[in-house]
Structure 1
Amino acid sequence: MTATVAMAAEVGPGVWFGPEMAGRGDWIVEVTTEQIMAFESAIEILRHAGKELQETDFSEVPKFPEFQRAAEEVLTGRGFILLRGLPVERWDRETTAWVYWMLGLYFGNPVPQNGDGHLLGHVKNLGKDYRDPAVRIYQTNYRQPFHTDSCDIVGLLCLRPAKQGGESRIVSSSTLHNEMLARRPDLLNVLYEPFVLDRKNEVPEGKGPYYEIPVFHRYGDRITGFYARDFIEAAQQRFPEIPRLTNRQIEALDYLDSLANDPSLYLAMDFQPGDVQLLHNHQILHARAAYEDWSEVERRRHLLRLWLSTPNGRPLPPVFCERYGTVTPGEIRGGIRVPGVIPQVILDV
């Protein structure tokens, strides 16, 4: 029988409701011509000096208070922001990646996103089978359920949207926590207990093929979320030695999913080319609708992704070490590192 966890509702700007957010515009930051020109000039100087994109650090990034405020909002406010207006259609891929990298450095340090060590990820349909438990769904056009990523902040830059579908949805994990506390505290209690997650063959040195972590954590004065149901279900399919999910656990996960997919809670947004969405994984879950792509390869949906480790990020409970590597303040945490793989920037896949 699951022990009762002492719980209280989360308060503050991280608790929000989608329809109310949809009526506001303060979470959209328009990138100005002045800022674009400053980034372009900085890149020309770096290229002339023979510097590589992934060698760029924050000291070489043009400084604008708007982006610094955006980073503070993501970390300590509502937990997300949308930067709009990068001219990706006139830039070559390297320039686009370089500007995106520089913007990302306002929020944190890039960490590898997969077993190939990619610091710049490519979210596109690679024709893989979403039913394969070892496949990560971002490599397909199948709907991606609400989840968090294994980093402090995730960024998505839209190069090209889909022909149809692919809508992004985000929801506050603090709001989900509060709603479960008010409606079904018995099921919320279940989510404070560990679940087994599959590493999907991306295994760090000295670790096993799966790990355990709860969905919700009260640590310090904050509620922190960590959720990836497809990784929980993949572990159930691939590892017969782990305990089977109980009916109570399944009910709790189902209830969490039903709340996350409630239009009265989530915020939907359609990406335009040049949009950059930045999310604080510890307080935001994100999802993507299924999509239909264009037949022409050059027109197909393509997002660039950054996983970022924030030096001044919120304290995390020790159990996060199993996935994040470390929770020591100031150290690089999160990402996926496997033996023998050197982190790298790939401009396309």
Structure 2
Amino acid sequence: METDPVNLEEHFFPRGVRQKYGLGEFAAGPFMPSNLFATHLAEWPTQVDSRSAWSGGTIVREDQFAIQLTKGHKKELIEALTTFQERNYDLLDINKDNFHLPTLGKVLQKVSERVYDGEGFVLLRGFNPEEFTEEENIIIASGVSAYVGGKFGRQSPTGSMITHLTTLKGIKTRAGYYSNQSQTFHNDYVCDIVSIYCLSPPASGGQVRLASASKTYQDIVETRPDIIPVLAASNWVHQTARQNPLYIRRPLLYQTDEKRPFFCFSRSALLEEFRTHRLEGLGLPPLTRTQREALEIVEMTADKNSIEIDLQSGDLLFINNLAVLHGRREFQDNEITKRHMLRLWVHNPERAWQLPNSLKVLWDCIYMDLPDTPGWFIVDPTDPNPMVLQEVTSDNGGCGSEGSSK
């Protein structure tokens, strides 16, 4: 079968990460140090006792996870936005000190607690994106998210700190966040918190689907315990979007030092068809029959225990990327209404789960300070600038890429 030329000019691992872990430069093949992502043999818990181990049947009311903003909160937001703009702060430096929310900030501290140590997700409702410009909405989403976690992660190889989840015409990509396709349950790469700000919902469909990772794990332990070692094995081939190397091998299932099980995977990065390219014929090992069965079991189990949320304009949803698997229903836009979300990857060093060593190298690709990879924000995803379009279509870790929705 004829395939497109493989472009491996861009490394999947930034230079600073390669230097820290002694990875050096990669040849054109899929070479990776064999023990880099190997997980230690561990005794897996038979019971998960945690607030994050919920089922859809126990979350039946919106007020169990949603917080309505007050008029006072909205006034504080406008004042914080005005001050931030007047003092010409750099968006990359936004924090609780230069985006001051004296009352709402206390609420957001509790949101952070619930997202990290509670059910794993919280919805803020009551923003009005129509009152602000595109850039102002990004400042608001970033400023509020800074209270949940003070550090933002890069979402592309060149340092984009934000992804616009919307349908884009004229760009040759089938990545899930730029199409109206449904998304199976997955994680967004190796980030702590996924922050999603709804600028505009679709005309129909597009519900966000959430499922507890702990509950999914617990049910698999009870019904198919033989699948646990399959998910935890270090032989899963994750594609890297024709970057160098072409793929890495690592598990799908992990646990923290406190024996909290969690998943870290995306079906799209595991299956043969990935993004805009067919990677068959490039030497990537296929999944085994047992691995495909394991993927289906995770999907069916998560679906059984899931809930759905219809995001409204102005909703800001925080999801613990390790505690909660997420997906999305197919949606339809029309001439009046078009789906547009803003996504940030947030990290709170004081509350973050302790990752196993086998994931730290991937975490560093997102959050490590890398002087040669400056961060920046895409304000307008339809910008005709070719570099912007290239950036938009080469996302390093969102839905459908290595490790990861919307």
TM over 0.5: yes
Alignment of 1:234-253 (within 5 A): 234=272, 238=279, 240-253=282-295
Matched, 1:215 2:256: no
Matched, 1:110 2:110: no
SS state of the match for residue 191, structure 1? Answer: helix
Alignment partner of 1:346 out of 378, 387, 390:
378
Answer whether contact 2:152 2:367 (CA < 8 A) is retained.
no
2 CA distance for matches of 1:230 and 1:224? Answer: 18
TM score, norm. by length of structure 1: 0.87
SS state of the match for residue 313, structure 2? Answer: coil
Alignment partner of 1:138 out of 177, 190, 196:
177
2:69 is matched with 31
2 CA distance for matches of 1:164 and 1:309? Answer: 32
The letter for the 2-side match of 1:126 is L
For residues 38 and 4 of structure 1, do their structure 2 counterparts lie closer, same or farther at Cα, with a shift above 3 Å needed?
closer
Answer whether contact 2:214 2:323 (CA < 8 A) is retained.
yes
**Deviation at 1:111?**
1.3
SS state of the match for residue 49, structure 2? Answer: coil
Residues paired across the two proteins, number: 329
1:48 is matched with 86
**Deviation at 1:128?**
7.3
**Deviation at 1:182?**
0.2
Answer whether contact 2:94 2:146 (CA < 8 A) is retained.
no
TM score, norm. by length of structure 2: 0.75
1 CA distance for matches of 2:205 and 2:294? Answer: 29
**Deviation at 1:268?**
0.5
**Deviation at 1:5?**
5.9
The letter for the 2-side match of 1:41 is E
Alignment partner of 2:132 out of 72, 80, 91:
91
Q: Deviations over 1:137-184 (max 9, x none)?
A: 111111111110121100111111111110110001110000000000
SS state of the match for residue 106, structure 1? Answer: helix
2:367 is matched with 333
1 CA distance for matches of 2:147 and 2:127? Answer: 16
Matched, 1:161 2:198: no
**Deviation at 1:117?**
2.5
1 CA distance for matches of 2:249 and 2:145? Answer: 30
2:48 is matched with 10
1:82 is matched with 123
The letter for the 2-side match of 1:238 is L
The letter for the 2-side match of 1:168 is V
2:14 is matched with none
1 CA distance for matches of 2:95 and 2:188? Answer: 23
Q: Deviations over 1:210-259 (max 9, x none)?
A: 22221111231211221211111148852643432111111111111111
SS state of the match for residue 58, structure 1? Answer: coil
Answer whether contact 1:154 1:279 (CA < 8 A) is retained.
yes
2 CA distance for matches of 1:311 and 1:334? Answer: 12
**Deviation at 1:189?**
2.0
Alignment partner of 1:148 out of 183, 187, 200:
187
2 CA distance for matches of 1:309 and 1:212? Answer: 25
1:329 is matched with none
The letter for the 2-side match of 1:227 is F
Answer whether contact 2:67 2:123 (CA < 8 A) is retained.
yes
2 CA distance for matches of 1:235 and 1:319? Answer: 26
Matched, 1:308 2:346: yes
1:229 is matched with 267
Matched, 1:286 2:318: no
Q: Deviations over 1:297-330 (max 9, x none)?
A: xx3110011111221211001111342227xxxx
The letter for the 2-side match of 1:136 is A
The letter for the 1-side match of 2:128 is P
Percent sequence identity over aligned pairs: 25
Answer whether contact 2:111 2:122 (CA < 8 A) is retained.
yes
2:229 is matched with 189
Q: Which runs of 5+ in 2 are unaligned?
A: 1-39, 382-406
For residues 114 and 179 of structure 1, do their structure 2 counterparts lie closer, same or farther at Cα, with a shift above 3 Å needed?
same
Q: Which runs of 5+ in 1 are unaligned?
A: 327-331
